[in-house]
């Protein structure tokens, strides 16, 4: 007979409201015999059955729920759950060959993450209950998805909370190391062995596509406008050719009436900070950006970004910077303030400004998590305020700040508060254009706040005195 976890009479009814974790503080006792990682039933203080999950007495999370009826976590169980995961991705994603297949508790497989990169699966196991079923899980993955390889990236410190050691390596097949995936029609290189986490951040897929409206409509600021010209007056090698048989064609011309020779004349200038492998940079170029500055502190990441840019044919529109984003933004702000001082007169102009003091139409900030614990929230608030303060100062008047936070402990209202405080200090008025979360392959269980980690916002930026 299966062992049961009896819950305390005084506990809050979180389990009945969909919370998939039972904490040790909620447990009254264990009835029966169970080994760590075994499946147990959960009952209330009256003995009423509530759910089934796997048990870890050495973790703060005593039980992770897998079902609300008695089940066995055998191969058939995993195959059924994995097929459900696949059906969800095939319904909502245009290219389910490259996506997050399993998202832990939200896919009713707590402690398990599976990312799909073409024919290769990358698995991350974060809980003891999944760890002891690693082999049966692998067999189920092979049956449902038929991958050419399965690679494990359980090399994360959070496993220590479950009493587990970090681990990475091949589970099945031969690891290709580097894989090229497709996202929103773009080709990107992914390093599944040495890249961050499982190799790529699929959660921002829809958010990257959401920047498309920001990338064009900027030519008029430079005095460029459209005029009709006789088709036979266009140079033979002009980038815009008239339709066959047309006598006239509408072309962009500058203030002097000369033809504009650059095809992306209407595009935005864009700065992407914390670029990693350049995913936002690639999307900016795809959607028509004129010039993109791609910045990351990691030389390895920037080299990958260079290859991704070249792979998609965007070399002529991207420049790369290896630098700390905080320092780079402050340096640009300082240079901008110096340029304004010189424009007013009375400043020392003998010292060259170099390349500082630049501004962009769109500034994109997608930093790593600043708050990995509750204790780190105060420092994270300062970090988010500072990075957004500097970023919005460098946005051209009426341009856009695209900013994100992947810190779970930084709640949405706190993130917005940090940005609002930054706007006040910068003398800016922000208009929220779009507010987003993680993509459809990262579903969220209602009532489980732990899954609501990604915040993504697009703000129009204007100076108070210009409104």
Taking only the tens place, the pLDDT of each residue in 280-322 is 999 999 999 999 999 999 999 999 999 999 999 999 999 999 9
CA atoms of 271 and 323, how far apart (whole Å) = 13
- For residue 132, the SS3 value is coil
Three-state SS at 350: coil
pLDDT tens-digit readout, 99-123: 999 999 999 999 999 999 999 999 9
Q: How confident is the model over 228-238, as a mean pLDDT?
A: 91
pLDDT band at 155 (very low <50, low <70, confident <90, very high): very high
CB 189 within 8 A of CB 277: yes
Q: What is the mean pLDDT of residues 113-140?
A: 97
331 has pLDDT over 90: yes
CB contact at 8 A, 38 and 54: yes
pLDDT of residue 342: 81
pLDDT tens column, 174-216: 999 999 999 999 999 999 998 888 889 999 999 999 999 999 9
Q: What is the pLDDT of residues 385-403, one digit of tens each?
A: 999 999 999 999 999 999 9
Give the SS3 label for residue 109: coil
Mean pLDDT of all residues belonging to the chain: 94
Mean pLDDT (whole number) for 125-130: 97
pLDDT at 227 exceeding the cut of 90: yes
HEC states along 393-445?
HCEEEEEEEEEEECCCCCCHHHHHHHHHHHHHHHCEEEEEEEEECCCCCCCCC
d(CA 148, CA 173): 6
Q: Is the pLDDT of residue 346 over 70?
A: no
- Cα 304 to Cα 70: distance, rounded to the nearest angstrom: 47
Kind plus residue range of the DSSP H or E element containing 150: strand 149-154
- Residue 350: its pLDDT value, please? 64
CA pair distance 440, 18, nearest whole angstrom: 20
pLDDT band at 348 (very low <50, low <70, confident <90, very high): low
| CB contact set of 152 (below 8 Å; sequence gap of 6+) | 122, 123, 124, 125, 167, 168, 169, 170, 171
Report the 10 Å Cβ neighbour count for 31. Answer: 16
Structure tokens, 20: 């998939």
Q: Are 41 and 31 in contact (CB under 8 A)?
A: no
Mean pLDDT confidence for 355-362: 92
pLDDT exceeds cutoff 70 at 435: yes
**Helices 75-92 and 134-145: crossing angle, nearest 10°?**
50
DSSP bridge pairs for 271: 293, 363
- DSSP line for 277-314: TTHHHHHHHHTT-SEEEEEES-HHHHHHHHHHHHHTT-
* 191-225 per-residue burial string, b: 16 or more CB within 10 A, e: under 16: bbbebeebbbbbbbbbbbbbbeebbbebbeeeebe
Tell me the whole-structure pTM to 2 decimals: 0.93
Residue 349 has pLDDT above 70, yes or no: no
DSSP bridge pairs for 179: 190
Report the pLDDT averaged over residues 115-142.
97
Mean pLDDT in residue range 10-22: 93
Taking residues 159-185, report their average pLDDT: 95
Compute the CA torsion angle 187, 189, 190, 191 (nearest 10 deg): 170
Phi, psi of 219 (to 5 degrees): -65, -35
pLDDT over 90, % of the chain: 84
d(CA 164, CA 183): 34
Lowest mean pLDDT among 35-49, 225-239, 271-285: 225-239
* Contacts of 403 by beta carbon, 8 Å cutoff, 6+ apart: 364, 365, 366, 388, 391, 419, 456, 457, 459
Q: How confident is the model at residue 460 (pLDDT cuts 50, 70, 90)?
A: very high
Look at 143 and 380; give whichever has higher pLDDT.
Answer: 143
Please name the helix (run of DSSP H) or strand (run of DSSP E) that holds residue 31, with its range, or none: strand 27-31
Show the tokens assigned to 295: 């910045």
């Amino acid at each position: 007979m299966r062992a049961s976890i009896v819950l305390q009479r005084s506990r809050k009814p979180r389990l009945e409201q969909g919370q998939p974790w039972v904490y040790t503080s909620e447990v009254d006792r264990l009835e029966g015999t169970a080994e760590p990682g075994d499946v147990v039933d959960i009952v209330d203080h009256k003995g009423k059955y509530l759910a089934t999950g796997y048990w870890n007495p050495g973790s703060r999370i005593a039980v992770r729920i897998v079902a609300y009826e008695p089940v066995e976590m055998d191969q058939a169980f995993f195959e059924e759950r994995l097929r459900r995961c696949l059906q969800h991705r095939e319904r909502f994603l245009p290219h389910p060959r490259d996506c997050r297949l399993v998202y832990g508790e939200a896919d009713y497989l707590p402690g398990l993450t599976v990312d799909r990169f073409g024919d290769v699966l990358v698995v991350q196991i974060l809980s003891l209950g999944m760890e002891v079923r690693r082999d049966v899980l692998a067999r189920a993955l092979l049956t449902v998805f038929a991958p050419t390889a399965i690679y494990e990236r359980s090399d994360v410190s959070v496993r220590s909370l479950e009493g587990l050691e970090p681990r990475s390596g091949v589970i099945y097949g031969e690891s290709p190391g580097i894989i090229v995936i497709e996202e929103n029609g773009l080709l990107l290189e992914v390093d599944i062995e040495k890249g961050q986490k499982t190799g790529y951040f699929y959660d921002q897929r829809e958010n990257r596509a959401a920047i498309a409206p920001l990338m064009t409509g900027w030519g008029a600021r430079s005095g460029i406008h459209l005029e009709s010209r006789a088709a036979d007056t266009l140079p033979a090698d002009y980038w815009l050719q008239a339709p066959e048989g047309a006598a006239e064609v509408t072309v962009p011309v500058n203030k002097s009436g000369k033809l504009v020779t650059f095809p992306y004349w209407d595009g935005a200038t864009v700065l992407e900070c914390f670029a990693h492998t350049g995913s936002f940079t690639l999307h900016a170029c795809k959607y028509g950006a004129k010039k993109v500055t791609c910045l990351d502190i990691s030389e390895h990441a920037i080299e990958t970004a260079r290859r991704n840019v070249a792979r998609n044919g965007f070399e002529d529109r991207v420049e790369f910077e290896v630098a700390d984003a905080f320092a780079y933004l402050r340096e640009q702000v300082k240079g901008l303030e110096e340029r304004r001082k010189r424009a007013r007169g009375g400043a020392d102009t003998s010292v060259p400004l170099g390349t500082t003091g630049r501004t962009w139409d769109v500034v994109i900030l997608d930093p790593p998590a600043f708050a990995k614990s509750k204790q780190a929230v105060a420092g994270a608030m300062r970090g988010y305020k500072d990075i957004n303060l500097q970023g919005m100062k460098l946005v051209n008047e009426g341009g856009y700040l695209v900013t994100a936070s992947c810190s779970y402990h930084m709640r949405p209202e706190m993130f917005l508060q940090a940005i609002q405080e930054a706007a006040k200090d910068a003398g800016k008025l922000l208009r929220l254009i779009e507010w987003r979360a993680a993509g459809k392959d990262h579903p969220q269980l209602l009532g489980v706040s732990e899954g609501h980690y990604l915040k993504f916002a697009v703000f129009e930026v204007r100076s108070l005195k210009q409104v």
